[in-house]
Structure 1
């Protein structure tokens, strides 16, 4: 990571962080979020979030600084338990950090084809092969139009 690169735009940092938020499943079925290469998508979503984006940016700077204080290699060089300790150590100071990251990460994670397949869902949007829609009863539409006129 360069001195000018923010943690949010550091792929290695973000992959390690995302794997901490959603680690790989113990049975190997569910992938960790960091292994799915979601960091750019999550970073872009966070950067456009006017409310929580600045909270995350400041929080990630704190995570980076705390990790560097533990190990000159930074967050990526820490073990999983050390990474968790860094995050937990900032809990009272940056309480919204993990919530804000998870808010954007969960959407990207649960739309990823590998995750959908692991959940037993087809790795495609629900349409055009999606849901069957029952025929509409025209009498109900007429009833709604009558009520709308009142």
Structure 2
């Protein structure tokens, strides 16, 4: 199945519209929005196991909108998005995660963040040391799982 056939034309249009609402383009940082063709192609190419949840989210979004999301005026589109966030649960969370993960691996976005255009391994990235004492309350909790025998 080709990437274009994973979602219907209407679902792809709504995906592009909601993606632009999640991450709009920025002239200040010279980055595209999540509705950019390359980002959208990456989303379609890598949906994989998230396909069903993303379809559910887009179908729910279409139901709430009553017509293509792009055809709504901005105020109505924002109202639909708010209702979508509050009523879609895991499907909406999956949709947002998919949009974010594809957006933040786009070369233009990585470049704007000052990151090297490379895979994180084998070189890795240097992380600043944080305050490990913040984990003390978690470590002090009694075990939540039974011990293996």
The two structures share one fold, judged by TM-score above 0.5: yes
Kindly indicate whether the alpha-carbon contact (under 8 Å) linking 1:6 and 1:61 is maintained by their aligned counterparts in 2: no
Q: Answer yes or no: is 1:64 the counterpart of 2:62.
A: yes
Higher-Rg structure is 1
- Once the two structures are superposed, residues 6-50 of structure 1 have per-residue CA deviations (whole angstroms, 9 ceiling, x without a partner) of 644x2x33221211122223734332111253223323433x21x
After superposition, the Cα gap between the structure-2 partners of 1:30 and 1:60, relative to the gap in structure 1 and judged at 3 Å, is same
TM-score (norm: length of structure 2): 0.61
After superposition, the Cα gap between the structure-2 partners of 1:92 and 1:102, relative to the gap in structure 1 and judged at 3 Å, is closer
Q: Answer yes or no: is 1:123 the counterpart of 2:124.
A: no
Residues in 1 aligned to 2:93 and 2:40: alpha-carbon distance in whole angstroms: 16
Gaps of 5+ in 2: 1-6, 126-149
After superposition, the Cα gap between the structure-2 partners of 1:36 and 1:26, relative to the gap in structure 1 and judged at 3 Å, is same
Structure 2 residue matching 1:91: 3-state secondary structure: helix
Displacement of 1:91 in angstroms is 3.4
TM-score (norm: length of structure 1): 0.61
**Root mean square deviation, CA, Å:** 3.1
Runs ≥4 residues deviating over 6 A: none
Partner of 2:15: 14
Q: Answer yes or no: is 1:45 the counterpart of 2:46.
A: yes
